[in-house]
Amino acid sequence: MTPVAWDAELARDGKVVLPLRRRARVLTLVLSGALATVNGRRSYEAMTHGQAWSFWDYWNLAIFVLFLLVFVVTVRSTIAGTPRVTIDRQGVTKGDESVTWTRLTSIEQNGGNVKLSHADGELTIDGKNIPADQARALTDWLRSTADRYKIS
């Protein structure tokens, strides 16, 4: 999308929603699922052979738990449709975090991420929500939108 499209959507719907990009979500699901499966199988084999566990057996179990957790959290957030970023006339919301236009102190681009600083901390729109080539355009559009709604 472009700033013109974002402006049109904000005027028409009262909000702009930036969902997670599907490619990043699918890649996370495939990789975490595959790595959890491989390490889970190795851990299962180590448990059923009745031998003393080596460092690598414990390592495989820890990696299995880690990737299983990543997989479960990714599936859960996919079903729930979060964390999506919503930009409306009041401010910006990402999951449970939100910042109003009036509390916003700065908007900066950091690599593929857009960082919104406010008095209580910061809210980051990470590259999972926007294509890397649109981060600069989104940063500039958020600045102009913030200027427009800070006065209201």
Question: What pLDDT was estimated at residue 32?
Answer: 93
What does the mean pLDDT of the chain come to?
86
Q: Which residue ranges make up each domain of the chain?
A: 3-20+82-150, 22-80
Question: Averaged over 83-90, what is the pLDDT?
Answer: 85
Q: How many CB atoms lie within 10 A of CB 146?
A: 21
pLDDT tens track for 11-22: 999 999 887 677
pLDDT band at 51 (very low <50, low <70, confident <90, very high): confident
pLDDT of residue 151: 60
> For residue 65, what pLDDT is reported?
96
Q: Given this structure, which CATH class describes domain 3-20+82-150?
A: mainly beta
| pLDDT given for residue 24 in this prediction | 77
Which pLDDT does position 83 carry in this prediction?
65
Q: What is the pLDDT of residues 137-152, one digit of tens each?
A: 888 999 999 988 876 4
> Which residues does 148 contact at the CB level (< 8 Å), separation at least 6?
none
Instruction: State the CB neighbour count (10 A cutoff) for residue 151.
Output: 7
Name the β-bridge partners of 79. Answer: none
pTM of structure: 0.64
How many alpha carbons lie under 13 Å from residue 48 in its C-beta half-sphere? 6
Beta-strand (E) ranges in 25-152? 85-88, 91-94, 97-100, 104-110, 113-118, 121-125
Give the tens place of pLDDT for each residue, 88-134: 999 998 878 889 998 889 999 887 888 999 888 888 887 766 776 78
Whole-number pLDDT of residue 30: 94
